[in-house]
Amino acid sequence: MSKSITIIGAGPGGYETAAAAAEKGFDVTLITDGPLGGTCLNEGCIPTKCLCRNAEVLEDFAHSEEYGITASYSFDFKKAVERKEAVISQLRSGIEFLLKKVRIIEGKASFKDSHTVLVGEEEIESDYIIIATGSVSALLPIPGNDLEGVITSKELLSIDVIPRKLCIIGAGVIGLEFASIFNSFGSEVTVLEYCPNVLPRFDIDLAKRLKQSLSKKGISIITSAKVESIEHSPGGLEVKYQFKDNRFSILSDKVLMAVGRRPNLKSLNFDEIGIETTPKGVVVNNYMQTSVPNIYAIGDITGGMMLAHVATFQGRRVLNHLTAGCPSEGPVDKIQLDLVPAAVFTSPEVATIGKTEEECKAEGVAFKIRKSFYRANGKALSMNSPDGYCKIIEEEKSGRILGCHIIGSHASDLIQEVTALISMDGNIYDLSSIIHAHPTLSEIVLNAAD
């Protein structure tokens, strides 16, 4: 008799785990109180990338004369939104096909006990339960954070008119991606960040270079700015902030709250069945088990790196643990959940893997830095993309690759080669021995190793 799994949440972690579990012979029930695909597909990764592509095309048109092309053009934002919705619809249909062996129940779930989930009056019993209910946008606790026109990324992706002036609070991944997009769309964009640098958890060298690049495009980025309040005024929304002991304000049509996301801890009645949580998320062990052993949690609900691909691989870890007979110790796969590539789809892109220079210094690790620049790469120049570099951090004695940080065109694609090498404990000499096709952007990574 096959084992049964109930999965709560249909984001990438939930639906991909559901499809894989069904293929492995589990009897799978997937519960969702929203559209298939979760935040990533419907109001996050995918729609944002659609708009990123629109922004890229607009930038190409703006420089068309450099390619010998003289053209007049206009931008129909409504059609851009329609294309975004069409992409979402197509991918959602693909998910439905993947889940053909999965029972899908729509509605809000709650726990009855450690093996039983309630959806309305229906009870679903199963051997194992996986929680994949994701995260929600965080709001800065300041006066005016609930005013009309103060929005999160979800609402910004649903607007039908490009704001003339856009103020973004937060210069993390979400804030900078939207800053880059709407700057290309013609908005006057101001970004306010509390920390001294943009992308606070990234390599500082990389973050400073990105700020410089975005500023050259006309985006006003003010770091070390403490936002104090938002008020209605005759000119729109007035955002008041403190900078270097002085108080300033700016007017905007819309204010985007982009101060991060927090685990959706209110999604289920965790306390009633003894699932341990902290403000950072559901507590799990290396196998993604909660304090109730037959209940697992994956993705944003566990805190940590809130990325779709993390949720997917955490789901794989759960299935590997189940198929291995739920051991209490020892490895069940080769997945390195602490080695996660991350990308920021600004213009230029940013991508990173492994340790930063600052982390190496803090840990007392002796290291060397190797760099190569886009402006020395033939493919980058032919693409009119000379802005950027690749920075590789190696352990001084062994040459083992500790981290890589790239800013420039297609950085999100280039980072994967280094990720693979780090995962196999590769060193700088392994990288420099691999023949790379010419002319390609991948040679930027090779040249850094050389």
Q: What is the pLDDT of residues 384-408, one digit of tens each?
A: 999 999 999 999 999 999 999 999 9
How far, in Å, CA of 220 to CA of 198, rounded?
12
| Contact of 228 with 416, CB cutoff 8 Å | no
Residue 158 burial by Cβ neighbours in a 10 Å radius (0-12, 13-18, 19+): exposed
* Chain mean position to CA 4: 31
Provide the angle, in degrees to the nearest 10, between the axes of the packed helices 173-184 and 45-62. 40
Tens digits of residue pLDDT in 85-99: 999 999 999 999 999
Rounded to whole angstroms, the Cα distance separating 244 from 228 reads: 14
Cis ω on the peptide bond leading into residue 163 (within 30° of 0)? no
The whole-angstrom separation of Cα 354 and Cα 341 is: 8
Residue type, 263: P
User: What letter would DSSP give residue 168?
Assistant: E
* The two structure tokens encoding residue 125: 């019993």
Q: How far apart, in whole angstroms, are the C-alpha atoms of residue 127 and residue 124?
A: 10
pTM: 0.95
Positions annotated as catalytic residues are: 438
- How many Cβ atoms are within 10 Å of 386's Cβ, its own excluded? 14
Asked whether 290 and 274 are in contact (CB, 8 A), the reply is no
The string of pLDDT tens digits covering residues 3-36 is: 999 999 999 999 999 999 999 999 999 999 999 9
- For residue 1, the model assigns a pLDDT of 55
Phi, psi of 122 (to 5 degrees): -85, 135
Nearest to 347 by CA among 193, 213, 218: 213
Instruction: Give the model's pLDDT for residue 276.
Output: 97
Torsion of CA 407, 413, 418, 420, to 10 degrees: 160
Q: What is the pLDDT of residues 307-354, one digit of tens each?
A: 999 999 999 999 999 999 999 999 999 999 999 999 999 999 999 999
In this structure, how many other beta carbons lie within 10 angstroms of the beta carbon of residue 62?
11
Q: Where are the alpha helices (DSSP H) in 255-396?
A: 308-323, 357-363, 378-382
Burial class (CB in 10 A: 0-12, 13-18, 19+), 413: middle
Strand order in the sheet with 122-125: 109-113, 116-119, 122-125
Taking each helix axis from N to C end, the angle separating 12-23 and 77-98, rounded to the nearest 10 degrees, works out to 30
What confidence tier does 235 reach under pLDDT thresholds 50, 70, 90?
Answer: confident
Q: Is pLDDT of 188 > 80?
A: yes
- Let me know: does 392 contact 407? Beta carbons within 8 Å: no
Q: Which two tokens stand for residue 215?
A: 């500023």
Q: What is the mean pLDDT of the chain?
A: 96
pLDDT tens by residue, 128-161: 999 999 999 999 999 999 999 999 999 999 999 9
Per-residue pLDDT reduced to its tens digit, 411-433 = 999 999 999 999 999 999 999 99
Can you give the pLDDT at residue 71? 80
Interval 49-67: pLDDT, tens: 999 999 999 999 999 999 9
Q: What is the average per-residue pLDDT within 63-81?
A: 92
Spatial separation of the C-alpha atoms in residues 199 and 196, rounded to whole Å: 10
Residues 407/350, Cβ–Cβ less than 8 Å: yes
| Contact call for residues 250 and 216 (beta carbons, < 8 A) | no
Which of 66, 56, 71, 55 minimizes the C-alpha distance to 382? 66
Q: How many residues are recorded in the chain?
A: 450
CB 130 within 8 A of CB 17: yes
